[in-house]
Amino acid sequence: MPAILVTIGVYIISSVIAKIFVALGIGVFTYYGLLSLVERLVDQVQLAFGGLPAQVSQVLSIAGIPEALSIVCSAFITRASIQAIQTFFGSRA
């Protein structure tokens, strides 16, 4: 009887572990895929900032616009990765 329980337990644990590794792989793949797209977007915004007059650029920097852009882009990437993992597991929030 204990041998049957051990076999069933190993089967359940191994399938759960495999599912976790696949979900993490999907999350990492989504993260790095979106990271390259967001980096291109940030590069374009930085080029646009470079074309502004010096006074406008300084005011935007004082207002914290570059940091805000970084925070928003990071939040977007994180949310998309989490959503990809949740979609894989079938639980959408």
pLDDT tens for each residue of 43-56: 888 888 888 898 98
Domain count, the chain: 1
Q: CA nearest 34: which of 87, 79, 85, 93?
A: 79
**pLDDT surpasses 90 at 36:** no
Our CA angle for 78, 80, 86, nearest 5°, is 105
Q: In the numeric block, which tokens belong to residue 71?
A: 């925070």
Q: Which domain holds residue 6?
A: 2-89
Q: Indicate the pTM of the whole model.
A: 0.63
Q: What is the DSSP string of 20-52?
A: HHHHHHHHHHHHHHHHHHHHHHHHHHHHHHHTS
